[in-house]
């Protein structure tokens, strides 16, 4: 599958879709977050951006691949009727700043609702998280637009748009905006998110870390998806003493893929929570093509063939540089076993 022509059109279209959706999100932040005073629990700007980004991506995919279904996070029910009018009008206005041809209200709603496919093990479908990392988005920190193509139950293509991620991690105040892309068998690459299509892509690889004592965790800013206490115990078992890199969203996958960090832990937050495929599809293939490994708490590869969730897996998601992956899994299992005693 290493031929440069394999999924070449899909790759180009996915990049265009993620770039436009990223611009939509940045526009919302500038207009509705930075310029307005928000109450602590006001998530309306991220809601507008979520719907707008999903409409933009889905409309671009429909134009080029009208037969491909989409597994998306959002549907349009909150935009319907008189109750949804104000939000609906904001979304439609936003979408029309990013499309080549104007879209009517009905076209925008229909585009959003193209994301209701059930997924499964056969054929082609896309999976989209229009804004992964909503709290990071509202803080003006890390969030990502995440798009992946699944064929016969396996992720074959992934694109991450990370508008606020430094292009060089050792220059945090420098240029921001990173686009990462990977196709099965072709490696992983990054370029500037704001670049024109003529800019060359740079190959990326996970760091060549052979001993966990030299590794760096990449953790969420907040502990909603995993326990920082468990992470601390795992770090102790692995002799990790370096400070963690903290960020929200699938940007964590991006950080590991290019060697800014080495381990991501997303341990089960409850016995009933099941991971969604859109939260991991793009990041999974980017890490894999960059030379890393991704699996559940038992080290099994993530199974994207079971519908809209990763219910076929044993819970949690672990990503790491390949040489230390097995050691990380062993420390995870030891920690979880101690908790259950």
Q: How confident is the model at residue 39 (pLDDT cuts 50, 70, 90)?
A: very low
Alpha helical stretches, state H, 272-311: 281-289
Phi and psi torsions of 335, nearest 5°: -65, -45
pLDDT value, residue 35: 60
Q: Which residue has the tokens 């629990």?
A: 41
DSSP-derived letter for residue 127 is E
The encoded tokens of residue 188 equal 């992983």
Active site residues: 50, 134
Q: Span 189-205, mean pLDDT?
A: 87
The encoded tokens of residue 341 equal 């005693």
pLDDT value, residue 271: 83
Higher pLDDT, 232 or 39: 232
pLDDT value, residue 310: 98
Q: Is the pLDDT of residue 253 over 80?
A: yes
Of 218, 193, 185, 191, nearest in space to 203 by CA: 191
Please give the biggest Cα pair distance in the chain: 60
| Model pLDDT for residues 300-337, shown as the tens digit of each residue | 999 999 999 999 999 999 999 999 999 999 999 999 99
| Model pLDDT for residues 155-176, shown as the tens digit of each residue | 999 999 999 999 999 898 899 9
DSSP-derived letter for residue 137 is H
| Model pLDDT for residues 42-92, shown as the tens digit of each residue | 567 888 999 999 999 999 999 999 999 999 989 999 999 999 999 999 999
Taking the C-alpha atoms of residue 22 and residue 100, their distance in angstroms, rounded to an integer, is 16
Q: Is the pLDDT of residue 40 over 80?
A: no
| Model pLDDT for residues 83-126, shown as the tens digit of each residue | 999 999 999 999 999 888 999 999 999 999 999 999 999 999 99
Residues of the chain with pLDDT > 90: what percent? 79
Q: How confident is the model at residue 1 (pLDDT cuts 50, 70, 90)?
A: low
Phi and psi torsions of 120, nearest 5°: 140, -175
Instruction: Check: CB of residue 207 under 8 Å from CB of residue 242.
Output: no
Instruction: Check: CB of residue 221 under 8 Å from CB of residue 141.
Output: yes
Q: What average pLDDT does the structure give for the chain?
A: 92
Q: How confident is the model at residue 33 (pLDDT cuts 50, 70, 90)?
A: low
DSSP-derived letter for residue 305 is T
pLDDT value, residue 95: 94
Q: How confident is the model at residue 10 (pLDDT cuts 50, 70, 90)?
A: very high
């Amino acid at each position: 599958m290493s031929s440069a022509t394999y999924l070449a059109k899909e790759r180009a279209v996915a990049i265009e879709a993620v770039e436009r959706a990223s611009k939509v999100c940045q526009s919302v932040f500038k207009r509705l977050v930075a310029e307005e005073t928000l109450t602590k629990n006001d998530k309306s700007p991220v809601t507008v951006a979520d719907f707008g980004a999903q409409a933009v991506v889905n409309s671009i995919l429909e134009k080029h691949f009208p037969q491909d279904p989409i597994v998306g996070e959002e549907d349009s029910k909150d935009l319907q009727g008189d109750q949804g009018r104000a939000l609906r009008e904001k979304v439609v206005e936003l979408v029309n700043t990013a499309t080549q041809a104007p879209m009517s209200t009905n076209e925008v709603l229909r585009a959003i609702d193209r994301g209701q496919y059930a997924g499964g093990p056969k054929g082609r479908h896309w999976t989209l998280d229009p804004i992964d990392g909503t709290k990071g988005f509202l803080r003006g920190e890390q969030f990502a637009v995440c798009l992946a193509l699944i064929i016969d139950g396996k992720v074959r293509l992934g694109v991450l748009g990370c508008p606020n991620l430094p292009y060089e991690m050792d220059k945090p105040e420098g240029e921001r905006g990173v686009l990462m892309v990977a196709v099965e068998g072709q490696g992983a690459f990054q370029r500037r998110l704001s670049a024109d299509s003529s800019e060359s892509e740079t190959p990326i690889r996970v760091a060549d870390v052979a001993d966990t004592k030299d590794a760096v965790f990449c953790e969420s800013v907040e502990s909603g998806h995993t326990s920082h206490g468990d992470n601390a115990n795992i770090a102790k078992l692995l002799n990790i003493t370096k400070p963690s890199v903290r960020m929200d969203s699938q940007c964590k996958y991006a950080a590991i893929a290019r060697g800014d960090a080495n381990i991501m832990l997303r341990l089960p937050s409850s016995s009933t929570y099941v991971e969604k495929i859109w939260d991991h599809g793009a990041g999974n293939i980017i890490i894999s093509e960059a030379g890393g490994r991704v699996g559940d708490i038992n080290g099994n590869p993530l199974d994207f063939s079971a519908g809209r969730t990763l219910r076929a897996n044993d819970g949690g998601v672990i990503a790491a540089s390949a040489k230390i992956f097995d050691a990380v899994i062993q420390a995870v299992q030891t920690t979880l076993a101690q908790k259950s005693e």
